[in-house]
Amino acid sequence: MIWLSGCATTPYVSVPPPTGTYHIVGSGQTLYSISKVYNVDLKELMRVNGIRNPGQLGVGERLFIPRAPVPLYIAPYHPREYASIEQVVGKKQYEVKWKYITLHHSATLEGSAEAFDRNHRMRKMGGLFYHFVVGNGKGSGDGEIEVGWRWRKQKEVNRKRDIQICLVGDYNRQEMTAGQEEALTKLLKVLVAKYDISVSNIRRHKDIEGRATECPGDSFDLARIKKIVRNKN
C-alpha cells in the first residue's frame, strides 16, 4: 500500500505495536531490580521509558516492560537506602514553582506508599496521591521517607503549587512517632530551603478553606513542627 503525498509517493510500512506489559513500581524497588526480574537490559528499560537517571524512580510509577507478557511478582518490600534527605528530595527541578506544603495523615494504623498507591488506583485517583509518605514502622520503616511518582515527575495533584506529604498513622487515636517527627522536620527543612517556601505556608489538610476534614488529626502539633523547621540547627 502507498500513500500519496503531493507529487511524490511514499511507501507505507505497517509497524506492529510494541509488545510488553506495564509494571507498577512498588516500595523499595529499583530500576536495576526490576530489570533483573524481567530479564530486560537496564539501558533498554531506561530508553523505552525515557528515564535519564535510574535513581529517579517513584512508587506508583508505570514502567513499560518490553516483551513481557504479564506483570511479574517482585521480591517483598525492603527499605530503600538514602544517604541523606537531600538525596531523597533530589536535585532542584523547575517544572513547578512550589509554594505550599500540605500535611496529611493516612487515618490508618499502618501502611506504605505502595499500599496507598493500590488503594488510590482502585479509587480512580491516578495512583499514589501524595508526593512523599513518611512511615511509622508498620508497613514501612519508622521515619522512612518514600518518594511517590508524582514528585519524581514533578506533577501537581489537585491543588496548584502544593506539595502533598502523608504520614502513616491515625492522629485521632495515636501520636506521631519520634522517627516520623525527625524525618518529617528534616524533609520540610530541605523542601523549604530548596524551593524557597515560606514556613507559614506549611499547613494541615484541614486548614485549607472548604476542606471538611479532621486530617491530620487532633494530636498533630503543627506549631511544634514549624518551630523545629524554623530552627536552623
Summarize pLDDT for 77-109 with one digit per residue, the tens.
666 666 789 989 999 988 999 999 999 999 999
* Low-confidence winner among 55-64, 100-109, 180-189 (lowest mean pLDDT): 55-64
| Angle (CA) 207 211 213, round 5° | 85
Compare 21 and 4 and report the one with higher pLDDT. Answer: 21
Confidence band for 9, pLDDT divided at 50, 70 and 90: very low
Clarify whether residues 27 and 130 are in a common domain: no
Q: Name the 3-class secondary structure at 47.
A: helix
Clarify whether residues 59 and 126 are in a common domain: no
**Angle of the 222-230 helix axis to the 178-195 helix axis, nearest 10:** 60
Q: What average pLDDT does range 224-232 have in this prediction?
A: 93
Q: What average pLDDT does range 167-189 have in this prediction?
A: 96
Clarify whether residues 144 and 216 are in a common domain: yes
Report in angstroms the alpha-carbon separations of 84 from 79, 88, 90, 140, 199. 14, 7, 10, 18, 21
The percent of residues in the chain predicted with pLDDT above 90, rounded, is 64
Per the domain annotation, does 58 fall within a domain? yes
Sign of CA dihedral 155, 156, 158, 160: negative
Instruction: Using the structure block, give the residue that is written with the C-alpha cell 505497517.
Output: 14
pTM exceeds 0.85: no
Clarify whether residues 164 and 91 are in a common domain: yes
Clarify whether residues 134 and 172 are in a common domain: yes
Give the domain extent around 166: 85-230
Burial code of 51-66, b = ≥16 C-beta within 10 A, e = fewer? beeeebbbbbbebebb
126: number of Cβ within 10 Å: 14
CATH number, residue 141: 3.40.80.10
pLDDT digit string, tens, across residues 19-55: 899 999 988 888 888 998 999 999 999 999 988 877 7
| Cα separation, 62 vs 211, whole angstroms | 30
Q: What secondary structure letter does DSSP report for 28?
A: T
Clarify whether residues 51 and 138 are in a common domain: no
Predicted confidence at residue 209, as pLDDT, reads 84
The cell numbers describing 21, all together, are 506489559
Predicted confidence at residue 10, as pLDDT, reads 43
Asked if 182 and 119 touch (Cβ cutoff 8 Å), the reply is no
Clarify whether residues 122 and 164 are in a common domain: yes
Number of domains forming the structure of the chain: 2
Q: What average pLDDT does range 66-75 have in this prediction?
A: 87
Clarify whether residues 92 and 58 are in a common domain: no
Asked if 148 and 128 touch (Cβ cutoff 8 Å), the reply is yes
